[in-house]
Amino acid sequence: MRDIFKDALKEVVQSILPISLVVLLIQLFLVGSPPEKIATFLLSAFMVGLGFTFFLMGVKVGMLPMGEAIGGELAKHGSVLFLVLVTFVISFLATLAEPDVRVLTSTITSVSGEVISRVALLVSIAFGVGIFVVLSMLRIVYGVPIKYLYAGSYLLVIALSFFTPPDYLAISFDSGGVTTGPMTVPLILALGTGVASVMAGRSALSDGFGLIGFASIGPILGVMLLGVLLA
């Protein structure tokens, strides 16, 4: 456990320290922030670093092994319907818990003056992720080449963009980006590699990956459809 903590801390320091130093220098020499604001920033940066360290520990110790184990057991279970249901529920709930998604939806609701419902956005984003992770799992089960799924999905995005209101069109693509965050990525990757690793004729590398990029298309379509329906 101590080694995992050290590795996680090293990884967090390498990622957070450079941007924290840049922001600190800007505050000191360009903005001229007062000492109390600088102290608040340093404290918040420390808290973020500590939080991410424990989060990475949790991912490595619990979330990744658990996701791979669940994926493997789902594939061994032999029921495609059971695989679909469990995959959808896990993906849906993980997206609802995604910090990036909550920040985006809160910002959109605030900027729009609550014209755009935060709950509706959250549900449409999570539903899109759930559906597309399910499609990813079915792709692994039935051996469908991923290029066909990507091509068909992006053609659907392009077609739907002509009918989507401009505000929702912009939001939809941002929604696709924020879903690939610290909650959803470990779980989706672990589920995919877990399913692919126990299925005959499947490669954990070529079949278990590509899920994150494909899953990010779901929220784009989900928010587009929300815009079309509300318009």
> What's the pLDDT tens digit per position in 148-159?
999 999 999 999
Give the per-residue pLDDT at 66. Answer: 78
Between 190 and 175, name the one with better pLDDT.
175
pTM to 2 decimals?
0.80
Segment of 5-14, 43-52, 61-70, 200-209 carrying the highest mean pLDDT: 43-52
Q: Of 130, 131, 176, whose CA–CA distance to 157 is shortest? A: 176
CB 182 within 8 A of CB 97: no
Q: Per-residue pLDDT for 192 more than 90? A: no
Count of domains for the chain: 2
The verdict on 57 and 146 lying in the same domain is: no
Give the per-residue pLDDT at 97. Answer: 85
Q: Of 171, 145, 153, 158, whose CA–CA distance to 215 is shortest? A: 153
Domain boundary among 11, 33, 62: 62
Domain boundary among 62, 86, 102: 62
What residues make up the domain containing 176? 78-230
Give the per-residue pLDDT at 204. Answer: 61
Give a yes or no: residue 7 inside a domain: yes
Give the per-residue pLDDT at 222. Answer: 94
Domain boundary among 32, 62, 92: 62
Give a yes or no: residue 71 inside a domain: no
The verdict on 86 and 49 lying in the same domain is: no
DSSP conformation letters of 71-123: HHHHHHH--HHHHHHHHHHHHHHHHHT-HHHHHHHHHHHHHTTT-S-HHHHHH
The DSSP letter of residue 205 is T
Q: What number of other Cβ atoms are within 10 A of residue 195's Cβ? A: 28
> What's the pLDDT tens digit per position in 56-114?
888 788 777 877 777 777 777 767 888 889 889 989 998 998 888 988 999 998 888 87
Give the per-residue pLDDT at 124. Answer: 94
Give a yes or no: residue 106 inside a domain: yes
Tokens of 222: 């989900």
Between 200 and 121, name the one with better pLDDT.
121
Residue ranges of E strands in the chain: none
The verdict on 53 and 93 lying in the same domain is: no
Percentage of the residues of the chain whose pLDDT score is greater than 90: 27
Q: What is the mean pLDDT of residues 127-139?
A: 92
Q: What is the mean pLDDT of residues 155-165?
A: 95
The verdict on 48 and 95 lying in the same domain is: no
Q: What is the mean pLDDT of residues 191-197?
A: 78
Give a yes or no: residue 67 inside a domain: no
Give a yes or no: residue 68 inside a domain: no
The verdict on 148 and 213 lying in the same domain is: yes
Give a yes or no: residue 131 inside a domain: yes
Q: Per-residue pLDDT for 203 more than 80? A: no
Give a yes or no: residue 84 inside a domain: yes
CB 179 within 8 A of CB 95: yes
How far is it, in rounded angstroms, from Cα 203 to Cα 206? Answer: 5
The verdict on 165 and 216 lying in the same domain is: yes
